[in-house]
Amino acid sequence: MAMTTTQKILAFHSGLLHVVPGQLIEANLDMVLGNDVTAPVAINEFEKVGGSTVFDKAKISLVMDHFTPNKDIKSAQNCKQVRDFASKHGIENFFDVGDMGIEHALLPEKGLVVPGDAVIGADSHTCTYGALGAFSTGVGSTDMAAAMLCGKTWFKVPGAVKVVLSGALKKYVTGKDVILHLIGKIGVDGALYKSLEFFGDGLKSLSMDDRFCIANMSIECGAKNGIFPVDGKVLDYVGQRSSRNPMIFEADSDAVYDEVIEIDLNSLEPTVALPHLPSNTRLAKDAEDLKIDQVVIGSCTNGRLSDMRQAAEILAGKKVAKGVRLIVIPASQEVYLECLKLGFAEIFVRAGGVFSTPTCGPCLGGHMGILASGERAVATTNRNFVGRMGHPKSEVVLSSPYVAAASALRGYLTCPYKL
């Protein structure tokens, strides 16, 4: 029976020859992920059922990234609880201040996920690892607890939406514009509990960072996961970071998809999502009258080195507009050091911005850039729901680093073509 890429991975991890959409399965896991917000809940549940040992010390990752460095007593207590759990159980992949990063940038960077893996994380943007040809999806903390105990979890096999990309990205157009265009086209529930599977000659135009961004935001149109084919770019990326052998799964040519969507990359322009949904998309050039108070460049969506490079390209030798707060947050220590070495950090600071240690920070309204009532930010983050970055009467516009940096210079939402 023909299967999609996701269905093949799930069948393999369940010890089955084939699966069909809607089927309930129990799959073995290659990685279980939690952070300083979700892991404490999972630890409580783990201990409540009498858990005495984890299933595999090397297949659990605990990343302190949301409220770190700790912003208050509660966040400090949360991190301590996770830190103590990691020490007690000998968790090999525990990442804390000084040796951490935003989880969904850090795990691929550390080589902890490879093609063909099945990964769950108590964070909705765990779907990022589909860029590597892995099945990855977000779960609740109780599911994380059970997975830490037994190394497996249950899934309902998803149907699939096929996204065929053609053409190539133009100057100032990135993976962020691709996924915002797609979400705007199908809506926040357009792929509800489906696997978004990407194909086409246009893949050659997408860097690994573009793919991470697209897979990361697959959840924003309701998808169970997003996944890319394993090509030379993926194998080069993984080969530099992991000694594990990848497993490559390819969709059958006659696999059944619930919908096929075609996107011509040549036709795309810098795109933004206006408040208060990622699907409320516009071309950046059609929304340039919006005054802004803050710009955030970073997050698990756009905090990688190419994102820092794009922002630095726009900001070099210039100053941010008066009254605009520019906050730049690299996604990992590796990216932080590269920004220092390449001079990007100096560009950001001389432009009038601040350059932060890796943290999720303002993305979820945590710290390092909370908005007050009536304020508006342009951010390279992944969600712009009501109150997402602070006060319920604040607003967040989602964009690429190019658009965010250009907007910081003018103090208004700005298409980089206009600079």
pLDDT digit string (tens) for 308-345? 999 999 999 999 999 999 999 999 999 999 999 999 99
283 and 251 inside one domain: no
Phi, then psi, of 142 in degrees rounded to 5 = -70, -35
Statement: residue 355 has pLDDT above 90? yes
Q: Are 177 and 310 in contact (CB under 8 A)?
A: no
Phi, then psi, of 35 in degrees rounded to 5 = -125, -175
Instruction: Give the distance, in angstroms, between the CA of residue 108 and the centroid of all CA atoms in the same chain.
Output: 11
308 and 368 inside one domain: yes
Q: List the domain range (segments joined by +) for residue 167.
A: 5-263
208 and 99 inside one domain: yes
Residues 214-244: pLDDT tens digits?
999 999 999 999 999 999 999 999 999 999 9
Q: Are 296 and 327 in contact (CB under 8 A)?
A: yes
State residue 93's pLDDT score: 97
Statement: residue 213 has pLDDT above 90? yes
Last residue of a domain, one of 263, 289, 316: 263
Q: If you write DSSP's letter for every residue of 229-257 in order, what string do you get?
A: ---HHHHHHHHTT--SPP------TT---
State residue 419's pLDDT score: 81
Last residue of a domain, one of 238, 263, 288: 263
Res. 159 pLDDT band, cuts 50 70 90: very high
Q: What is the mean pLDDT of residues 276-299?
A: 95
State residue 140's pLDDT score: 95
Res. 418 pLDDT band, cuts 50 70 90: confident
Q: What is the mean pLDDT of residues 299-304?
A: 97
Statement: residue 67 has pLDDT above 90? yes
Q: What is the mean pLDDT of residues 37-56?
A: 96
Pairing of strands 294-297, 325-328: parallel
100 and 242 inside one domain: yes
Report angle CA 54, 23, 134 to the nearest 5 degrees.
Answer: 55
184 and 295 inside one domain: no
Residues 148-158: pLDDT tens digits?
999 999 999 99
Q: Which of 250, 209, 244 is nearest to 59 (CA)?
A: 244
183 and 36 inside one domain: yes
Residues in the chain: 419
197 and 219 inside one domain: yes
State how far the Cα of 411 lies from the Cα of 375, in Å rounded to an integer. 12
Here the tokens at position 208 are 């690994």
State residue 382's pLDDT score: 95
Place of tokens 């065929």: 164
Statement: residue 289 has pLDDT above 90? no
Sheet (strand 225-227) strand order:
225-227, 194-199, 159-166, 259-264
Query: Can you name the residues that pair with 271 across neighbouring β-strands?
Result: 283
Contacts of 232 (CB under 8 A, 6+ apart): none
Name the percent of the chain lying above pLDDT 90: 97
110 and 84 inside one domain: yes
Domain count, the chain: 2
255 and 287 inside one domain: no
State residue 1's pLDDT score: 81
314 and 191 inside one domain: no
Place of tokens 């005495």: 52
CATH of the domain at 350: 3.30.499.10
Q: Are 378 and 413 in contact (CB under 8 A)?
A: yes
List of E strands, 270-401: 271-273, 281-283, 294-297, 325-328, 353-355, 376-379, 395-398
List of E strands, 111-210: 118-121, 135-138, 152-156, 159-166, 194-199
Q: What is the mean pLDDT of residues 174-182?
A: 98
240 and 287 inside one domain: no
42 and 161 inside one domain: yes
Last residue of a domain, one of 263, 292, 309: 263
